[in-house]
Each structure stands twice: as C-alpha cells, then as structure tokens.
Chain A
Amino acid sequence: MTHPFLALTDSDREEMLGTIGVGSVEELFRDLPEAVRFGRELDLERALSEQEVFEHVAALAGRNFDASRELSFLGAGMYDHYVPAVVDTILQRGELLTAYTPYQPEMSQGVLQAIFEYQTAICELTGMDVSNASGYDGTSVAADACFVAKHATGRDKIVVTEATNPQVRQVVKTYAAGFGLEVVEVPHRDGTTGPSDLERAAEDAAAVIFQQPNVFGCLEPAPDLVAAASEAGALPVAHVDLLSLGVLEAPGRYGAALALGEGQAAGNFPSFGGPHYGFLAARQQFIRRMPGRIVGETVDTAGERGYVLTLQTREQHIRREKATSNITTNQTLLALGGLVYLTWLGPQGLRELGETCLSLAAYAKQRLEERAGLELMFAAQTTFKEFAVRVGRNAREVVEDARRQGVHPGYALGRDYEGMDDVLLVAVTERRSPEEIDRLADVLAEVAR
C-alpha cells in the first residue's frame, strides 16, 4: 500500500529508474560500503493510521494534569496567560507555518515584514535600538549576550545575580565553559540584589545579568544595578518579562546595554517547556555583534519598499568560525505569535494586563496572609505577578497535599535555593480569578503549617 505521505505509483517508479539508468532503487545506494548498510528492518512498532496516532497521542495528553484540569499557580519562568484565538488562527496559516528561513526575500515578504514588525515591538517594549528575529528561549539568549559582552569588552567574567531564574543561570554556565568565561553569582539580600554587592562583583566583568522582576517576583532596584555595572565597566544586561513592560520601566530608559528574556508569557502556550521564543535587543552600538537573524528594510528595483535578512556578514553561513553565533533556525513562528499577541493587546491592554496581574497578586498575598495565616517571604519588597510565601513545612509536601484537592499551589523554591525548603513561589496571572485565589487560600489554610 502506498504510504499517504508518498505519491509515486509503480509505473512512475519504473519510468524514473529508467531515466536515471538504474534497474532498481537498491542500485541508487551503490556508493554505500557494504559494512555500513543496515541489514535489517528498523525495530519500530508498525505504521499507524492518522486515526490511530490521534487516539494514541491524545490518550497520552489525557494522562497529564495541565492547567485545564488543575487550578495552577505555577510560574517560575513559564506562565499561564491567556492566548487569544487570533494567535492560533494566524500561526496555522500554511504559507507562514510551512516556510523555511526567508533566504529568498521575494518569496518571503510576509514573514520578513512580520519579523520587522516584531523587532519594532520588542524595541518599543524594551526601549532598545535593535532586536534580533528571536533566539531559542529565555535561557539561550542570556548565553548569547555573554558572547556579545566577551567580544565587546575583551573581558572574561560574567556576573549573574542569584535572584535570576536558575534555568537561565544553568544555561549561562554551560555555554560559559565553551566561551572560556568564568561565571560569578551575587547573592540576594531579602529578595533583591544590593547595588554595592553587584558593583564589587562586577569588577573586570564583561557583563552583569539581572532579572526584573526577579525569580522571587520582587522588583530589583534596576536603575541602581545598571549604574553599578556600568561603573565597573561591565555591560548591564536586563532579563525582563515582556508583559511587565506596560507598568515597569523599559530597560533602555535606565541604561541597560542589552535587554532580553523569555517570550512565552506573551503569546505562547507553556507546552511543557516549549517551543517558545527568546527575545534579544540591544543598543545601536552592538548591532554588528548581535547573534541571529535581523530583518532590515530596503527597496526593490522599482523603488518599492521591501524587507530582507540583513547584516548577514555577522552570521555563520558567511563568517563561519568568526560568526557572532552559530544560530540559524530560531523561533520565528513563536515570535510571530508574540507579535500577534502584542498587537491584540495594544498599549492599553498591556498596561491593563500589568495592573491586573499586580492587583490579583496583591489580593493573593493578602488572602494567603489573612485567610491561610501564612508568612510572606520578602514582605518588604514590591512584587509583580509572583511572590514567595513560607508554608511552615516542606513545600514539596504541601504541593503534594494541595494537588490532592485539585490545586497546584506553586513552585517549591527549595528545589533551587538552599534554606528555602518551606518556601512556595506563587504565580498569579490574569487567568486566575479572585474566587480561584480564595480556593488557593482555603486549600493552603488546610494543608500548610
């Protein structure tokens, strides 16, 4: 039986083999030495029909407890924000979904213009001059920034605040081994980073990476951290949440050299970790050191405006071992999802979303203190949509007990931070209603302490 993903009939095959001048398909492989030919059939389960594969894979999906089956307050880098239907609609357009990287601009004006619009949106949000077309995720763009900083400063140390998401710190450390960079972490004090601690650590550093809001949800004194890094001659790198930038200041306005982060919250589903997009933006002076694709405006031979991949002499297919990065495939479709989402929100929606997150999180803090009798960690700090709370006993056990009642109360920070075994990180997006927050408080009142 012809496989549904193939089209050749028996007579097609005969005719084609005749044109080629061989007697069989096997003969096409005559250049393969006998010893490296695979002598048996692949040991895989039989081919499934579409219906069978649907039933099998849908059954697997049905075994997960996703945010539609469990009331979830998990965050720590991935968030359950609402993704509007228009995102799905646009991303499922086959012309966009099934295109390759736009090497031939006349075939790809749609995606090229969309990336140009995306770059504009990222620059507007971050207050930067130039954005690339996306990186893999919020961790790899931080590693990319280290490579930029190493070459821009000639220094070989990277400073990362301990209050930066552990996923980001781990990836930076992995890449640093190849880049020949030393990574130094600066501890937090009561949930935020001290500018003088940072300035001491930043001596001889190529870059200082901090997160705003940080992993605990707290607002860092970002302008002071940037000033401290700059004072030491290190590039200040802000890892930011796009959805906070309707209410929080743009990193470009307080002097960051690069602004980057995880784009998932803006227009992508959590999807058990991906695919999402990382965004990376910088000041003009770093434009020729940027990793990844950049789209630029130009004109065609008739003088009409059009878009092309530009500044390609930075890239691996031209510069090879001297390239600014090895990246080629990035996350264009997910970044396009981000653009559609940010267009859907608009500037007003973005600000309202930020305010809604702030208010709901404030409400949650109040309920957990008053109704559940829990103690907020870092109570003195302003938080955005996430906060840390002491639950009086091992937080992983609290998570387990709460989940029995259908509520996932958050992330047990003891998994990453020493001395925080009894601390839970609670994320509240606009998808959580006050009633759902009441339910969280009820459940924690019962299972915590």
Chain B
Amino acid sequence: MKLIYEKSQTGRRASALPQHENLPTSPEIPEGLRRTEPPRLPEVPEFELVRHFTELSTRNFGVDTGFYPLGSCTMKYNPRINERLAALPGFARLHPLQEEDGAQGSLELMWRLQEILAEVTGLDAVSLQPAAGSQGELTGLLLTRAYFAARGEGEQRRKVVIPDTAHGTNPASVTMAGYELTHVQTDARGNIDVEDLRGKVDEHTAALMLTNPSTLGLFDENIEEIERIFHGAGALMYYDGANLNAVCGISRPGDMGFDIVHINLHKTFSQPHGGGGPGGGPVAVRDILEPFLPVPAVVRREDGGFGLDFDRPQTIGKVRGFAGPFGVFVRSYAYMRMWGPRLREMSEVAVLNANYVLARLKDAYELPFDRLCMHEFVLSARPLKREYGCTALDVAKRLMDYGFHPPTIYFPLVVPEALMVEPTETEAKETLDAFCDAMLAIAREAAEDPDLLKEAPHHRPVKRLDEVRAAKHPVVKYGFGEHPAAEREARPVAAEAPKGA
C-alpha cells in the first residue's frame, strides 16, 4: 500500500480556512526566524485522506475486530458510550486553565473517580495525573524518595527490590528514579522466593515493586510474609496495577499491605488502547504518602464545590501538564459507574475464562507452574520447539491465520518460549472454544507440517517481516525522491485473514 506522501500531488488540499477582510497584514517575521523551505506535508483532497486512513484501518486488528488475548494488556471490550461522553463539547472543548467555577463538572468527575479508585485499591488518596502505567511507576518511586528524604533516610535507602518476573518498565523506572536494583528470584511454585528475599531486604531497602497476581498470572501465596519482611525493615511496598483486572472486589492491594499502587485505566478500566495509547496511570497511596502527591490535587471544598489544590509544600511537583489526561478519566469513570459493586463479577469472569482456556490447553503445551491461574496464564511452546523446531513465535504467527491476535510471547523472561494468554472477561464461551481449538490444531500442525507454522502468517496483508533488517539499516521516515524502496505495483491483498486456515 502506498504511503500518503506517495499519493500527494502539488496543489491539492483538503482544508479551507476562514477568510477575514480588512485585517492588518501579518507582522514581518525577522530574517533568520522565517521559514525558508515549506515542509513536505501530503497534498491530497479530503476524500483521498479518508480513503487512505480507512484502508490503513482495514490492515489493523483491534478488539473490535476479534479476540485479542494479549497477556498483561487486558484487551477487553471498550464501550462506545465512553467515546460519546468524552467527545461532549463540555469536556472536549474545556481549557485546562479554566477557572474552577467554570470547570465544576470536570472537577467533580475527577474527584468521584478518585473516590472509586481509593475504594477499589483499599488506599487513602489518589492522584490522577500520571499519563500511563510507567509514569505511575516513576511517580510512585519519586514519592518513595520524597517520603524517605522527609524522614532523613534518603541517603540510606537506595535499593528497590524487583522479582525476575517483573515488567521491563519496573527496572527502567528504578533507574529513572535514581535508585539501585535488587533482583529477587521466583520459587518452584511461581511465588517470590522468600528465602532469597530475606537476605536482600534491610535498612538500605527503599521499596519492593510487585505485580500481584504476577506476570505468570499467579497470586503470590506468601504475600503476608513479604509484607512483614518489607514493613519490618521500614521499607515501602509498591503495587504494579497491570494485573488489577484479576482482583477487583476480591482482594485489594491496600489490604495486602501495599502503600502505593498505580492503576492502568487503559487496561482494567476500558480506555481503548488506540494502537499504543493514550493510557492513564493514576496512583493511589496510603495516608502517610499523601503530602507528597503531585500537584494540583483535586479536592472537594467545604462548600461542596470542587477545586484544584496547589498548596502542597511537600509535593514531588508535577509529572505531566495540567491535571492529567482528562478524556481518559471520562471513559474510565463511565465504565466503572456501569459496573458499580458488580466489578467483582468482572474479575471473577476474567479469572474463570482464563482458567477454562488453561484447562483446555495445558496438555498440548507445557505448563511451567501447575496451579490454578488468575486472569492470565503462561504456557511454554518448548515441547514444540524441541520436537518439531516450532517456536512460540511460529505459534503466534500461525494463530493469525485462524483470525486471532496472538498472545504475548517471550515474556515473562523466566519461562522459555513463553505464550502469555489473557482472555479477559469480555469473551463468550464460543470464542474461547474457537481459540482453544485453533491452539490445539496448531500443536498438531507442528507435528504434521511444521513449515505451515514457520512460514505463517499466510493470510495477512503482509508475510513475516524482517525485523533485523529494520534495526540494522533504520529507515524511520519517508525519503521522498531518494526513498530506498519506492513501491512497486500495488497488488491486491486480503484485508482480513479468513477464519481458519
């Protein structure tokens, strides 16, 4: 398919701007500051623009297209009402610097969302400001720094403990927050190795960062002991909320002993992921950390009105512009109001669906930790690799031919040839069965005709792509006249894979 730049013809345009009579001529822009060469933006009429991006959309797969069991990403249905609400002019056209009395509706919505998140996490105070989970992590670690600095322990506590199953964002956030990493291992049941942990937590430890259930989809059975170890050493506990979809209304991070939690609104609370964002990563904290939260805080005033409070002398400052990604809050708030206390059912069905798929697949693939799972589970394609030379990547690519988005692969790192499956609560049993049938069929195909896997996908708009070449000789923008791979004749391709091979 051509790039929009390859469809461009000088002189065409999609926009017409308002014309005003009798305006003063624009002021002269000083020499050296004036644009000398126009940017080569596309020149296309509006209908060409719409066709181009519509065609691009047919070459993409979302939850609206089909089943998307991408582990750790919680790809659930995104209700359309949320889009309608976020687009209301009262929200979409509201300036973030509007005076408080002109923004009461938005401030109230944010305050109410904070209250809901505090109840769901079992914590005391919430800041909605962080833009995504990883920014929530950084915020949490900066809160930890500020907390210990205020106690005179800032120099002493330099270490953050992270299990080997953690998302890559955790160690990256630790570096960005200026902390040192301490790794802790996973035991034979998939929990944190408590014996390993004991020797690593002391008066130099600032915090633990833990995802619970872990990225293996397993709830840590020793969470009470872990809590005693960290709080006993005077350290804080940080909860990575990536897997909160497993435990809403069932177990709360605050009740597990965590002091700081980030919540991924784009996972658990249905903000559509948009092909890579936007997200929302609010943090909820225990009262001892509230003074350090980012400014402004959204507060309810004594007269019942709502406001932004900047007067927080101990604050870590701001992590993002204004008061956060408000449109995301509208969607997640509406979503949570449509569940209310029934959020528990959401998590129960997410766990039921995952265990059902696990039960149907565990004999055909390898299950590294033979336990019931929570909202997701990790299988290994190692037997297929050993016996037929088919890898987790091959299984993933072959699944595309069956019309499914593949699971997360090669993560967590502790499981070789990992396939991490998260069905979410969204799916009907028929869909789960069709996915299981496809996974079982692929395991058979690996034995009978391994090339079918190795050469997959066969029915996508492109075949397997050469990622090594892309990294070795990076072409990261269109080269116009000098483009290395100016397109050959367009060939018609199926926009979507047929269901079944």
Contact = CB atoms under 8 A, between A and B. Distances in A.
A275 B328 contact: yes
A328 B264 CA distance: 12
Contact of B41 (A63, A248, A313, A346): A346
A107 B400 contact: yes
B54 to A, nearest CB: 7
Interface string A204-226: 00000000000000010111000
Contact of A219 (B33, B61, B321): B33
Nearest to A134: B277
B383 interface: no
Nearest to B102: A65
B84 A54 contact: yes
Given A274-B131, A310-B476, A25 B94 contact: no
Interface stretch (B195-203, B384-392, B442-450, B455-463): B455-463
Given A100-B68, A108-B61, A333-B278, A44 B95 contact: no
Interface string B1-36: 101110000001111011010111111111011111
Contact of A345 (B41, B54, B471): B41
Nearest to A290: B476
B142 A304 contact: no
B20 A356 contact: yes
A242 to B, nearest CB: 10
Nearest to A331: B277
A46 B340 contact: yes
B contacts with A: majority SS: loop
Nearest to A173: B317
Contacts of B317: 170-171, 173-174, 177
Contact of A271 (B65, B92, B171): B92
Contacts of A247: 26, 29, 34-35
Interface in B267-322: 272-280, 294, 316-322
Contacts of A344: 14-15, 46, 49
Contacts of B321: 77, 137-139, 167-168, 171, 262, 273-274
A90 interface: yes
Given A272-B323, A329-B132, A287 B476 contact: yes
Nearest to B457: A106
A111 B276 contact: yes
B320 to A, nearest CB: 6
Contact of B320 (A111, A136, A399, A430): A136
A414 interface: no
Interface residues of B, number: 204
Nearest to A271: B327
A269 interface: yes
Nearest to B347: A29
B460 to A, nearest CB: 4
A91 B322 CA distance: 24
Contact of A248 (B33, B141, B256): B33
Contacts of B176: 147, 175, 178-179, 325-326
Contacts of A301: 455, 463-464, 466
Contacts of A294: 474, 476
A154 interface: no
Contact of B62 (A67, A99, A221, A408): A99
B498 interface: no
Contacts of B41: 121, 124-125, 342-343, 345-347, 350
Nearest to B345: A3
Contact of A328 (B95, B132, B138, B280): B132
B352 A101 contact: no
A95 B61 contact: yes
Interface string B122-148: 100000000111110110011001000
A353 B175 contact: no
A249 interface: yes
Contacts of A347: 38-41, 43
A23 interface: no
Interface stretch (A193-201, A229-237, A360-368, A439-447): A360-368
Contacts of A190: none
A271 B326 contact: yes
A130 B465 CA distance: 21
A11 B354 CA distance: 17
Contact of A98 (B3, B20, B62, B353): B62
B29 A248 contact: yes
A273 B298 CA distance: 14
B452 to A, nearest CB: 14
A89 B50 contact: yes
A340 B48 CA distance: 11
B317 to A, nearest CB: 4
Interface string A36-54: 1110011111111110011
Nearest to A274: B325
A318 to B, nearest CB: 7
A249 B35 CA distance: 4
A97 B98 contact: no
A358 B172 contact: no
A272 B212 CA distance: 33
Contacts of A363: 23-24
Given A20-B372, A45-B340, A70-B102, 8 more contacts: A16-B355, A66-B91, A97-B62, A99-B273, A270-B96, A293-B276, A298-B470, A408-B95
Q: Which 6 A-B pairs have the closest CB atoms?
A: A333-B274, A94-B64, A61-B90, A110-B60, A273-B322, A332-B276
